[in-house]
Structures are given as C-alpha cells and as structure tokens.
C-alpha cells in the first residue's frame, strides 16, 4: 500500500542580524521537530526540505521554498510549515483590514539580509522581513488553487514565537530565566502593495468600501501557535539534556510521543493549554477556518486516530494548580456539579469544582480518594447535565386524551432522552407546554396550542418521540446559554459594574442611525417601519469597554428558532480599554410565522460573554441550525436576522461575567388580518386547522 507523503519545511533563526536580539533554542527546536518527523516514516513517505536556518531564512527564501517544495503535494498528502524564531506585530490599516479588532497583524520575523543603518527601526522589520498572517494564509490559498474542488493536501502550520495565536518568539531574559521570543516594537503600517497578494485582488480591496471585500484568500489548514496574540512565547532549558528549547515545541512533541500520536488537534491543544497556561503563562492556540471546522478532530499531521468522542471531559494534573478538568462554566460546570472520575474499569471517585473558569475547572477530592490518582495520568470524567438547563414541561391533553399507559410511556421515553426534564402543571410560569391536538405533538411557550413555537410532529409519524426528544434537548441547551452566568466567588474585578456599554442604533427615515434608548438594563424594543409594503428595519449593535484594561468579548445571538450563533466572524474579539466595537450592522424583520400565527412580537437574545483573559471557547455552545418553524403561507418571505452578517496596565486580577440584552420586535400587524389572507389560510392544507384557534370568529380587517 502506497503511503501518503509528508512534505515539511522547517525554519529556525537564532542569530538575527544587528539590532534584533539573538535567540538560543530555535535551532534545537528545528532539530527536535526533524527527529519527530523521521519517527513518522512508518506512516509517511518523508519529503523534508533542508532546514532554513539563520541567514538562509530570509522572507524571499521562505516564500520561494514554500511554493517550490509544496507544489507537488497531492490531496492525500500532508504539508507542514514550521517556524521557530521571533514574532512581531504590525499596525493594520483599519480601512483595509476592518476585521482586525486589535488593529494589528501578526507575523514571523524573517532574517534581514540588509544591514541596519542604526536609525530607522522600520529598516529592521519592514515588509521585506515580516511575513504576516494574511500572507501565510494567501500562500496556502495559492497552494490549494492547483487542486480541483479545493481537495488539496492536509496543511499544518506551527509557529513557536510570540503573538503566534494569530500567526506570528522574542528575546529578552526575564527574572525567571526564560527567553522571550518577541521583537520589542510594533512594525509600521505598510501599503497594501507591499503584501504578496495578486494585483487584481489588491486593486479591488483598495477601491472598495471597508469590509465589502472579504479576506477570502485563505485555504483549508490547521494553524497552531505557541501563545495567544497578546502573549509572549518562552524558551528555556528543557529535557534531560538541558538544551534550550521553545516551551511550545518541546511539550507539543512530548505529548505526541506520550500518546503515540493518537491525539486530535483539539485534544492536543487542550493538553498543551493545561500544562503551559499556569506554569509558563502562555496558552497555545489553534485556528481553523470556520468552513473547515471538521479538521479540529483530525489526528495530528492527518494521521488516523482511534475513534473517540470529541470534547470529552478529561482530568489532568498540574504541579502548581493541582487537578484540572478541561470543562468550565461555558460547559455548565458549576461549584455544585458532581464530577465522577473513572480510575479503573469498574471504579470511579467523586470530585467537586473548587474554582470554575470559562474553559476549565480546578477540582478537589476527599483525602482518601486523592491518593488513588496518579499525577502522570489523564482520566476520563462524567459530568451530569453537560450544557443543558433543567426544562419545565407541562402536558395538556384536553382535546385528545391519550390512554394513561401511552402517556406514562411517553414521559419515560422523554426522561431517557432529555436530562433534567421536569413535568409540571401546564400553566406554570416559565414552562413549555406539550399539546395533543388533531393528531399532533405541538410545543408552545404561552399555553396556546394554535401558536406553536416549532413545527408540530405527527403523533403516528416514524420516530415521533425521538424527534420530540431532539426538540426538547436543543431547547434545553438554548435555555442554558440564555441563562449562562459566572459563578466565580471572587469577582472583585467587576466591582464597578458590568463591563460593557451596549448601544443599539436604529436607522431612521432620513437614512441616519440614531441611538435607541434602552427601556431597561436588559431589554430594548425595535419597531419596524413599512417600506414598499414590507415591514423592516436596520440596526447597528455597538459595545464599549468601560474598564481600564483589555477585555475579551464573545457576543452570541440566540434566535427565537432556538439556534445559537456567533455575531462576530472571529467569534471572540479583544477590545482595548475604553474602546468601542461595532458588533453588527444588519436588517431586521419578522419571520413569516409571526404574522400568520398572530404572535405579538419576536423576542431574541444577545448573550455577551466577557473575560479578562483570552479563555473563551464557545464551540460547544453553538447550535447554528435552528429547529423547524411552523408552516406558513409565504415560506419564501425574508426572514433576515443577525446571523447574516497600547499603554500597559498591571493586570493581576482576573474573572469573567456575562451580560444579556433581549431584543423585542413587536408585530405591527398583531390582531389584524386581511380578508384575502384569511381566506387563503382557511383553504391551506396545514393552516386551516389553526385559523379559528388563532383568529377566532372576530377578525379585524386591514
């Protein structure tokens, strides 16, 4: 059987020219990486290019080697680009790169062959030296163009340098004897013509309004970096031989060898994060384009891995912090959660969270249980009610009374499918109601069987109970996200109030946006205006960081169809102190069923997750596919919604918090229906069974 090829290009720079501090461990990193790749000869036909070290690692050489060495890679092959050296940030032109919320590009500092004149730092690290993230992603896009349908090789990019979370190591020695792989200033903003992009795209980008031309030059790839965009990557003496190495590279290879390569990218990043976050204050990052999110669960270098569930709960030991669970507040872990740790085939012990962060939790054990744990092992865990909220459900059977045995069986099956389901009297406030009407299961939120919140299910249809269980599970998870809040005991960092000012601007008839004053702290009404016989509106959502420190913010949109979607393309944005961010500008309207079923309003929610650290991971919370909505007369009606679219401060306290804003869009046609539409509904194959229940006998004509 023919083995796939592994094409690798390794770059390491210790001896930067005058003006840039030298490093000590980058050649060692390249040697370690080369040795690991040679160990993969049983899995790959190796094609490792001669490493580019020091003065051979100019930007021109790197780009030319990337293009020439990788061009022969086929769809079944793997491409690895590895860089160990300095990282640097560059000022980003906001007109050209509006999605760079920190107003910076991140890049790799290549070797500068031109002697520095000792005057202008831009001669040190200018466009001819700095290979920024967008240029690297363009090289990947360019590589993929030679493959029909985008079915190119598996591309992996590893960067052991500072700021490498957005793809970009520095070189001063700190008191703990760590080398820092970062150039000490931000490179000057460059002209667009100084990038690698093709001329036609450059011209379109320059002449189009900001944000209209997407940064589409990006191919499918996996990018792993040593740290977050704002952090510093460290090098120090590591391993039994005591060689200076990059922390990221050393532990990346250590975990891969320990697990015999049987780790997905997601799990590999978790192991690295838990180990380096507290010990070295750097959090390795992983980036995969949203359109290729399935790559998260591929094995490293695209090696097959044993089947396993993604995002499993695991327990790992850290010398400084103790036992750490890879689930936190964003996964519904709270201080009340009971964690069952599997320590043998038939044996488990229990733990309680002592401290809950957004992405992980610190656990405590009874003394007699803790001695049963091996600090060198990783343990699987069970958590009850992961990412779900107790859901109150009433059952209304006035019109069609099923046999008691059928009702009991239905309840038993739903309890098996939906954790935390509570059966309550149907009229209880805050409960959903399940109705038995005209041979259908109908779910409502206002106890009205003629105003269903999702598409009804035929009681006798195949898999009806299973589908009902799917509906209720998604509603439960949606309710969890809606009610999400921090349980950290020490929230003194937010003692001065909620960290965000939220402003909603509504477009007026004169074509200008005006601030829409909120009626309450968590509620705003957005009226629609009639134009060309359609009710519509347009809004802007702005947030402002009120605090004197950077904050990481993730706005999630909870639609009334029970979907949860990120409002930002990047999901999480860093907002500098006292700065503002335009989260979204979009059209608003009502979905067709709000008119046909005479709903008074559509109520959706924006949940802002805010943290003082870049530790927000919301992938497990997202449910971008909503539940099926009730049938309407005009299924093609526009249903637009929000988804369509450096002074240093000593930061010793950390925490996270959430803010919630409900968006209330009133139905301008509530209680009114035209005679023609009423007649159409009375003859409709589905809606005719709802007309009298919705509209009654008294109808006000428009």
Task: Give the pLDDT confidence of 47-62 residue by residue, as tens digits.
Answer: 999 999 999 999 999 9
With bands split at pLDDT 50, 70 and 90, how would you rate the model's confidence at 629? very high
HSE-CB at 346 with a 13 A cutoff on CA atoms is 0
Q: Going by C-beta distance under 8 Å and a sequence separation of 6 or more, which residues neighbour residue 468?
A: 414, 434, 441, 457
Cα 372-273-616 angle, rounded to 5 deg: 115
Q: Which tens digit of pLDDT belongs to each residue from 508-528?
A: 888 889 887 655 567 899 999
Phi/psi class of residue 19: alpha, beta or left (left: φ > 0; alpha: ψ in -120 to 50)? left
Q: Is the pTM of this model over 0.75?
A: no
Q: Going by C-beta distance under 8 Å and a sequence separation of 6 or more, which residues neighbour residue 277?
A: 283
pLDDT over 80 (residue 166): no
pLDDT at position 700, please?
45
**Residue predicted with more confidence, 214 or 289:** 289
Which residues sit opposite 10 in a β-bridge? 82
pLDDT at position 209, please?
58
**Residue 269 to residue 314: CA distance in whole angstroms:** 13
pLDDT at position 701, please?
44
Q: Helices 247-258 & 265-277, crossing angle to 10 degrees? A: 130
Is 575:582 a contact under the CB 8 Å cutoff?
no
**Residue 427 to residue 410: CA distance in whole angstroms:** 20
**Residue 15 to residue 26: CA distance in whole angstroms:** 9
**Residue predicted with more confidence, 308 or 46:** 46
Among 418, 420, 432, smallest CA distance to 410 is for 418
Is 126:53 a contact under the CB 8 Å cutoff?
no
Among 307, 279, 178, 180, smallest CA distance to 233 is for 180
pLDDT over 70 (residue 572): yes
Q: Which tens digit of pLDDT belongs to each residue from 269-328?
A: 877 877 787 778 888 888 888 778 778 888 999 998 875 444 467 888 888 889 999 888
Question: What six digits make up the tokens of 234?
Answer: 């460290």
pLDDT at position 400, please?
67
Among 684, 568, 584, 582, smallest CA distance to 640 is for 584
Is 589:535 a contact under the CB 8 Å cutoff?
yes
State CA 518 to chain mean position distance: 29
Average pLDDT, the chain: 83
pLDDT over 50 (residue 167): no
**Residue predicted with more confidence, 611 or 701:** 611
Q: Which tens digit of pLDDT belongs to each residue from 244-261?
A: 999 999 999 998 998 888
Q: Going by C-beta distance under 8 Å and a sequence separation of 6 or more, which residues neighbour residue 650?
A: none
**Residue predicted with more confidence, 502 or 637:** 502
Beta strand 656-666 with 601-611: parallel, antiparallel or unpaired?
Answer: antiparallel
pLDDT at position 280, please?
83
pLDDT over 80 (residue 229): no
pLDDT at position 164, please?
57
Question: What six digits make up the tokens of 154?
Answer: 């598996």
The average pLDDT across 85-94 equals 80
pLDDT at position 34, please?
97
User: Which range scores top for mean pLDDT: 231-240, 268-277, 441-450?
Assistant: 441-450
pLDDT at position 287, please?
83
pLDDT over 80 (residue 169): no
Cα 227-229-232 angle, rounded to 5 deg: 50
Q: Going by C-beta distance under 8 Å and a sequence separation of 6 or more, which residues neighbour residue 483?
A: 389
pLDDT at position 538, please?
93
- Which of 667-685 are b and which e, b meaning 16 or more Cβ less than 10 Å from the residue's Cβ? bebeeebeeebeebbeebe
Lowest-confidence pick of 192-196, 348-352, 468-472, 564-568: 192-196
Among 22, 161, 156, 32, smallest CA distance to 84 is for 161
3-state secondary structure of 506: strand
pLDDT at position 33, please?
97
HSE-CB at 173 with a 13 A cutoff on CA atoms is 8
3-state secondary structure of 416: helix
Q: Which tens digit of pLDDT belongs to each residue from 537-557?
A: 999 999 999 998 899 999 999
Strands across the sheet with 104-109, in order?
Answer: 87-91, 104-109, 130-132
pLDDT at position 305, please?
80
- CA-derived radius of gyration, the chain: 28
pLDDT at position 232, please?
81
């Amino acid at each position: 059987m023919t083995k796939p090829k592994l094409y690798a290009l390794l770059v390491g720079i210790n001896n930067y020219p005058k003006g840039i501090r030298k490093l000590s461990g980058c050649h060692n990193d390249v040697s370690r990486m080369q040795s690991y790749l040679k160990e993969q000869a049983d899995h790959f036909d190796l094609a490792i290019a001669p490493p580019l070290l020091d003065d051979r690692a100019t930007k021109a050489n790197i780009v030319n080697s990337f293009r020439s060495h990788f061009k022969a890679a086929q769809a079944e092959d793997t491409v690895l680009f590895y860089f160990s050296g300095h990282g640097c940030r560059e000022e980003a032109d906001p007109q050209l790169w509006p999605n760079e919320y920190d107003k910076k590009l991140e890049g790799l500092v290549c070797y500068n062959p031109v002697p520095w004149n000792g005057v202008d730092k831009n001669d040190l690290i200018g466009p001819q030296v700095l290979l920024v993230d967008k240029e690297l992603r363009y090289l990947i896009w360019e590589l993929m163009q030679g493959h029909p349908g985008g079915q190119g090789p598996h591309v992996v990019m590893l960067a052991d340098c500072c700021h490498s979370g957005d793809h970009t190591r520095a070189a001063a020695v700190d008191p703990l004897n760590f080398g820092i792989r970062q150039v000490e200033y931000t490179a000057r903003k460059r002209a667009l013509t100084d990038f690698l992009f093709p001329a036609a795209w450059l011209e379109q980008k320059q002449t189009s309004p900001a944000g209209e031309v997407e940064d589409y030059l990006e191919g499918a790839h996996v990018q792993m970096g040593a740290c977050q965009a704002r952090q510093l990557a460290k090098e120090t003496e590591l391993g039994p031989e005591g060689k200076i190495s990059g922390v990221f590279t050393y532990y990346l290879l250590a975990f891969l060898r320990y697990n015999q390569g049987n780790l997905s990218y997601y799990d590999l990043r978790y192991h690295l994060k838990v180990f380096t976050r507290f010990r070295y204050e750097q959090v390795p990052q992983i980036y995969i384009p949203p359109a290729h999110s399935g790559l998260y669960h591929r094995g490293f270098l695209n090696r097959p891995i044993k089947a396993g569930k993604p995002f499993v709960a695991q327990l790992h030991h850290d010398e400084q912090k103790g036992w750490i669970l890879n689930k936190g507040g964003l996964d519904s872990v709270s201080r009340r959660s009971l964690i069952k740790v599997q320590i043998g085939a038939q044996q488990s012990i229990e733990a309680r969270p002592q401290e809950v962060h957004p992405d992980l939790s610190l656990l405590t054990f009874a003394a007699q249980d803790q001695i049963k744990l091996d600090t060198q092992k990783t343990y699987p865990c069970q958590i009850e009610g992961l990412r779900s909220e107790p859901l109150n459900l009433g059952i209304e059977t006035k019109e069609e009374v099923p046999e008691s045995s059928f009702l009991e069986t239905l309840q038993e099956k739903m309890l098996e499918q939906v954790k935390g389901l509570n059966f309550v009297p149907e009229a209880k406030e805050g409960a959903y109601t399940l109705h038995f009407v005209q041979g259908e299961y109908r779910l409502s939120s206002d106890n009205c069987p003629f105003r269903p919140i999702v598409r009804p299910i035929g009681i006798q249809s195949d898999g009806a109970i299973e589908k009902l269980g799917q509906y209720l599970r998604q509603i439960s998870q949606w309710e969890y996200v809606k009610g999400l809040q921090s349980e950290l005991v020490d929230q003194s960092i937010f003692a001065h109030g909620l960290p965000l000012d939220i402003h909603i601007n509504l477009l007026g008839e004169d074509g200008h946006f005006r601030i829409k004053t909120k009626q309450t702290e968590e509620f705003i009404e957005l009226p629609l205006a009639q134009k060309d016989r359609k009710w519509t509106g347009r809004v802007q959502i702005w947030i402002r960081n009120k605090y004197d420190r950077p904050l990481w913010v993730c706005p999630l949109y909870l639609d009334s169809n029970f979907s949860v979607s990120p409002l930002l393309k990047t999901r999480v944005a860093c907002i500098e102190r006292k700065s503002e961010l335009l989260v979204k500008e979009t059209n608003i309207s009502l979905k067709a069923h709000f008119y046909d079923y005479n709903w008074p309003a559509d109520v959706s929610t924006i949940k802002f997750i805010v943290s003082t650290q870049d530790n927000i991971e919301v992938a497990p919370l997202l449910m971008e596919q909503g539940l099926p909505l009730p049938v309407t007369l005009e299924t093609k009606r526009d249903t637009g919604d929000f988804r369509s679219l450096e002074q240093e401060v000593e930061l010793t306290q950390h925490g996270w918090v959430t803010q919630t804003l409900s968006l209330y869009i009133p139905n301008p046609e509530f209680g009114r229906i035209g005679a023609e539409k009423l007649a159409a509904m009375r003859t409709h194959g589905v809606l005719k069974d709802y007309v009298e229940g919705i509209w009654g006998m008294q109808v006000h004509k428009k």
